[in-house]
Structure 1
Amino acid sequence: MTFNYVNFKELSNKYLLNKLKIKYINYDNNYFKNYHNKKYFKVSKIRKRTVLTEYGVLTYSRRIYKNKYNGNIFVPTDIYVGIKPYSRIINEIKNIIINKIGQKKSYKNIQDEFNIYISKTTISNIFKNIKVKEILPQEKIKVKDNEYIYINVDDCFVPVWNKNKKRELQKIRSISYNTGKKQISKNRNKLLNKKYNFMFNYKFTHDFYQNNPTVESTWKGLIKYYDFYNPKLVVAGDGAGWIKNLAKYLGAYYVFDKYHAISYLKKAYNLESKWRTIISNIEKINNYKISLNYFCNGQYNELIEFLTKTKVNKEILKIFKNNKQGIINQSASWNIGCSAESDIFHLVKSQTKGAKTYNYKTLNNMLIAKINYLNNRI
């Protein structure tokens, strides 16, 4: 006789459901025997309650208490179970759903996790109506004096239904931290002690140095995750003005992201698409290689002179001119590159992939659930 997994799972769920039912009934009986509010509350009636658990549908009986003076209803067993009035889904199910969303599970994947049917609308409503709290690591990461903390920042836009039920693009600012990198295979490095942070629904101020939300959020993330006194800070990003200002405000070194620099150089020489080997493009390919070499070696003056000489687009030339320090620091021994683009993918795009538009509250909760998962991985 072969092993039947389906039958085994069904029997296991029935057994666990029965154990859960006994647990709830025992709690109700013990509470009735030991409760000390008999002066104010009396048992009004005993009623059945049907709830959805991870093992299936469960029906249990419990006592309903009524205040003798004002008529208020009190159901202690429902509180113990973790079920709200007029709801069928216990809190445990909601917590599982929150954890699954943080692990990049789609609504369909979450539905398949349970032995009960939960609609996609219900899953969405759970995320919209619940307030997901950030879970901080139990211990901060200790950073010695003069050791480096790397800060990678970037922006992305996601369509949301706002508070007025209108579709708009919501800007999300990704902020990640790490203390260096370690080579784990021939072509792969791992960032050490990496932590994620993000900004949602923030407003700009005209004066960057007064009440600026980016500086405040970046610093709060540092002191939440790291224990330090006098570290060396490095800020890396795509060359936007606010990133350079952030580095200046924090007294940090600034690095211009190589990924974006390559993209700009390819655009400058019309090589955005796949490499073309036809004769008419050989000169442009060579110009690209020369300019990239200047960039990687931190040769700012030579790079600007060459870009000017080869008559690249004025807007692209301006980007490189405005990122002098970020280019010079390319050759620094402490420069480990920038992970801002991949951070945007892991934190935001992997969550919203395939979805047209999320509710404003739902997306915010999804991002908090995601950083809880990322920041507390072992």
Structure 2
Amino acid sequence: MNDQLLSARDLKVSFDLPGGRQAQAVAGVNLDIAPGEIVALAGESGCGKSTLARTMLALEDATDGSITFGGKSLPKSTKKLRAFRKQVQLVLQDPTGALNPRHTVYDAVAEGLRIHGIEGSNEYDQVISALSQAGLRPPEQYLNRYPYELSGGQRQRVVIAGALALDPQLIIADEPVASLDASVRGEILALFQRLRDDFGLGALVVTHDLGLAWNIADRIAVMYLGRIVEQGPVEQVLLDPQHPYTRALVSVLPDSPVGDPQVLTGEAPDASQIPSGCRFHPRCPLVASGKAAEAGIEEKCRTQDLAVLDADPRNWQSACHYSAQFGRDEVRGTAEPVADSLG
């Protein structure tokens, strides 16, 4: 769609392994992020979500497919990529590791400005403005502090301020609150929402926490073994998930709208050994319970691969043979959505 800011089309990322094997970290993904939109990319550890995010930031090379920013393909030259990365900033999980312990807060926030050649007479004002936008007020009190003098939440705000100093259009945040205390997480999530509402800043938030996605995102894309298996508006997907994997993830949340917890058996398969057919079928409760066999689609689940979901943000989509054949009511079963279950 022409109004999308950052887009991936048929994206694939593979890594060579010993013995001539290949790991398919991203095995075909279509994803869009619109201006001023927060998209959550959710899934278990090892599903490929961080690799996808890094590839969309041009920190990893795509094996196949394309990435566009503002409708234009990402440039190849380092100079032009620098201009792109000024517009799309990365916020890492560990603020302590992201900050140089020998740099003051002022130097940490000004670092991006200097790298991009924006230093000068306005540098001080830009640092002050970025710290204020990130919620460190009054900003003058923080300029000469070092990371060890700050709390975890304050350090994360400094990292975010360093990104905001460059006036980006989009932030890619990889588990932005995973290392923070529960009491601080809500403040950082509220900050992302305020940046969206007040400044039109878009974000791709990588997370394994569906509760976080519920509280912060406009849309959610659920990833499993290199593919997005369900995506759509966050309230629809999390209140009435259609893919068995999404339902299992939602089922273990407090006051889950999908009924009793569903514990998935085994680990996610190795990315170098993608199962035939639906990549989720070895762990799928519908297959394990015999429900897929009763419906006459077990063989299809085991042998027929599913098409890559398209990127249309208006669609609620699920990559599941069962839901495709029998529809929403059959997948849902007897569980009915409860409007405030995840709030």
Q: TM-score, normalised by structure 2?
A: 0.26
Which structure exhibits the higher relative contact order, with contacts defined as CA atoms closer than 8 Å and separated by 6 or more residues? 2
Based on CA coordinates, which of the two structures has the bigger radius of gyration?
A: 1
